[in-house]
Amino acid sequence: MKIRSVQAIPLSIPFEVRSRLPAWRGKDFGALEILLVRIETEDGCVGWGEAFSYACQVPVKAAIEQMIAPLLIGQDARRITGLMHDVQKVLHIYGRYGVVNFALSGVDIALWDMAGRRAGLSLVELLGGANASTIDAYASLFRFDDPDRVAEAARAAVSAGYKSMKVHTRGSVDVGAVRGVVGSEIPLMVDTNCHWTPAEASRLAHALKAYDIRWLEEPIYPPESFDALRDLRQESGIPIAIGENACTVHEFQKILAAGAATYVQPSVAKVGGITEFRKVAALTEAYGASLAPHSTYFGPGFLATLHLIAAQPAAPRMSIEHFVVGPEASLYGGALDVQDGAFALPPGPGLGLQPDGDVLRDYRVKPA
Ligand SMILES: [Mg+2]
């Protein structure tokens, strides 16, 4: 069961949604950047993972292949939590947040996928069993900063069967436009991606109250402003959601101890993988907060999130984030399509599905 190889496979899959916003992180944001991790053992068992890699594919790939792979080759693939602890400990000097942790996350997901395949059990069965066989999805809408276009996207999401949705915006106008289109029954979330100062957040949170939002996500920059987030949560009365950029359970401990979050949002391809996500889920339960995973993924990261949600006792009341951008190809063909606003848990071993070889070939990023 010794690990023979750890590979990172970069893909770029164009999507159809476009905004007129300036380039994102210095690039035109018009394609899904997916970094798959493929781990194989000496006896031929394979597991697939995914590391967050938007606008950072080259450094995350290097971290997987040059920093983590040498620590894993020859190790027993079945000792996942111990291996992840050891690798985190060795690599802590390179930062506990960002590129190295994204890389660790992809490796961890691949090891869990492999463990399920070896056992003949799905991931959710390994995690204690499914509490739901389908998981509702909320439509996570692209940021347009254009009330007409976001209203059009919201209308399309309702037609497609989504029962709740999230608006990415920096103001309240887009939210009003969406509420006007979807009516009062559809739960709405608002995400600024850490944009406002505490004073701006206070002013805009009060403006958003008119639209009855379920949560306000990452309202304040910098993201570590836990005391300001707690104050905003208490003063505005609006539930606050944060955590997609937090890595390891230790950062979540600070968030929860500060009372900064109503909804806690670990991102499986950033936080440290399935191993670390489970710790965050347990801590969230202990603090009495709600879990609302971040999952703007389309590969193993999305599958892992589906299984992790299904493993929660609260699964029937939870939903998975689905980024509605219309990719031109799917790693899983039609096996992972949203149906009436929900995703069915794939029943196969491990994550339940394997990447399509044609998509891996056709959308693989060529070395520079
Ligand atoms: Mg977000």
pLDDT digits (tens, 9 = 90+) for 212-269: 999 999 999 999 999 999 999 999 999 999 999 999 999 999 999 999 999 999 999 9
Whether residue 66 has pLDDT greater than 90: yes
In the reported structure, the alpha carbon of residue 238 is separated from the centroid of ligand 1 by a whole-number distance in angstroms of 16
One fold for both 3-120+357-362 and 125-344? no
Q: How confident is the model at residue 330 (pLDDT cuts 50, 70, 90)?
A: very high
Q: How far apart are CA 277 and CA 307, in angstroms?
A: 12
Q: What is the pLDDT of residue 144?
A: 86
Ligand 1 centroid, distance to 150 Cα (angstroms): 16
The predicted model gives 66-94 an average pLDDT of 98
294 C-alpha to ligand 1 centroid (Å): 7
Give the distance (Å) from ligand 1 centre to CA of residue 218.
7
The pairing of beta strand 134-141 with beta strand 342-344: antiparallel
Q: How far is the CA of 85 from the centre of ligand 1 (A)?
A: 27
Share of residues in the chain with pLDDT > 70 (%): 97
Residue 87: pLDDT above 80?
Answer: yes
Does the predicted TM-score (pTM) go above 0.85? Answer: yes
- Residue 27 confidence (pLDDT) above 70: no
Q: Across-strand partners of 350? A: 122
- Taking the centre of ligand 1 as the mean of its atom positions, its distance from the CA of residue 118, in whole angstroms, is 34
Mean pLDDT on 66-74:
98
Q: How many CB atoms lie within 10 A of CB 265?
A: 27
Distance 166 CA to ligand 1 centre (A): 9
Average pLDDT of the segment spanning 75-95: 97
pLDDT band at residue 20 under the 50/70/90 scheme: low
Which residue is associated with the tokens 């190790």? Answer: 75
Q: Ligand 1 mean position to 358 CA, how many Å?
A: 31
From the CA of 134, how far away is ligand 1's center (Å)?
23
- Distance from residue 171's CA to the centre of ligand 1 (Å): 15
**Domain boundaries 3-120+357-362, CATH class:** alpha beta
- Is residue 101 very low, low, confident or very high in pLDDT (cuts 50, 70, 90)? very high
Question: What is the average pLDDT value for the chain, to the nearest integer?
Answer: 95
For the segment 357-364, the average pLDDT, to the nearest whole number, is: 98
Rg (CA), the chain: 20
| Distance from Cα 164 to the centre of ligand 1, integer Å | 15
Give distance in angstroms: CA of 110 to centre of ligand 1. Answer: 24
pLDDT score of 21 more than 90: no
Asked if residue 28 has pLDDT above 90, the reply is: no
Rounded distance from Cα 268 to ligand 1 centre (Å): 13
Rounded to the nearest angstrom, the distance between the alpha carbon of 193 and the centre of ligand 1 is 6
pLDDT of residue 24: 61
What is the pLDDT at residue 368?
74
Q: What percent of the chain has pLDDT over 90?
A: 91
Please tell me the distance between residue 302's alpha carbon and the centre of ligand 1 in angstroms.
15
Domain boundaries, the chain: 3-120+357-362, 125-344
The yes-or-no verdict on residue 340 having pLDDT over 90 is yes
Give every CB contact of residue 257 below 8 A, 6+ residues apart in sequence: none
- At residue 263, φ and ψ (nearest 5 deg) are -115, 135
C-alpha 43 to ligand 1 mean position (Å): 40
Mean pLDDT of 127-146: 95
CA of 214 relative to ligand 1 center, distance in Å: 14
Q: Which CATH architecture has domain 125-344?
A: Alpha-Beta Barrel (3.20)
Distance 337 CA to ligand 1 centre (A): 22
Q: What is the predicted pLDDT for the residue at 338?
A: 94
Structure tokens, 26:
């210095």
Q: What is the mean pLDDT of residues 44-68?
A: 97
Strand partners, 39: 6, 47
Cβ contacts of 138 within 8 Å, gap of 6 or more? 162, 163, 164, 165, 166, 187, 189, 319, 320, 321, 322
Longest dimension (CA), the chain: 60
Look at residue 38 and tell me whether its pLDDT is greater than 90.
Answer: yes
Centre of ligand 1 to C-alpha 353, Å, is 26
Q: Flag whether pLDDT at 23 surpasses 80.
A: no
